[in-house]
Amino acid sequence: MKKHLLEIDSVQKSFDNKNILSDVCLKCETKDIIGLLGRNGSGKSTLLKIIFGIISADFKFVRIDGSVKTKTKDLFNEISYLPQENCIPNGFTVKKTIELSVSKDRISEFYADEMIGRMLDKKVSHLSGGELRYLEIKIILDNSSKFVLLDEPYNGLSPLMVEKVN
């Protein structure tokens, strides 16, 4: 499998004349797992949203495989983002969510996951916080993006679910 390279350079963001992010640089290849550590409010989520393109930056430079990406739409096929807030509509069943999110040729493999199998007929609104987070992570890791940004991925997960995600 070919390795891909994501480079983030010179990210700057301020709110109300207060610098939140200043000259942030990041470089990673596919298969790398990188964690961002910092205090609450230090800008970790803001950085992920800037990289993904849903928050504007005062300045940012993004390259994927050496190609500069200046428009958010150019990033959507190459980077996926899972926010820390729940993102699946509560009215959906787990089965419907999977059918809408996972390619048809991968659904049976997806259903083979024991934890997923136990919740297939539940509505999303009836899942525990950990079950919902597990489902969201499974779905986002199943897509074809080169890079995945996970914001607070372990929130609400039991140690068993954390182990399965890892």
Query: pLDDT tens, 36-66?
Result: 999 998 999 999 999 998 999 999 999 999 9
Token pair belonging to 150: 């996970």
| H or E stretch covering 9 | strand 5-15
The CATH code for residues 1-76 is 3.40.50.300
The pLDDT value given to residue 74: 83
The pLDDT value given to residue 97: 94
The radius of gyration of the chain's CA atoms, rounded to the nearest angstrom, is: 17
Q: What percent of the chain has pLDDT over 70?
A: 99
CA distance 119 to 4: 34
Tally of CA atoms within 13 A in the half-sphere of 29 that contains its CB: 4
The pLDDT value given to residue 160: 87
Band of residue 112 on the pLDDT scale cut at 50, 70, 90: very high
Distance (Å) of CA 144 to CA 4, 32, 44: 13, 16, 24
Q: What percent of the chain has pLDDT over 90?
A: 75
- CATH topology (fold) of 79-166: Rossmann fold (3.40.50)
C-beta separation of 60 from 16 below 8 A: no
The reported pTM is 0.88
In one-letter notation, the amino acid at residue 141 is L
* Positions of CATH 3.40.50.300 in the chain: 1-76, 79-166
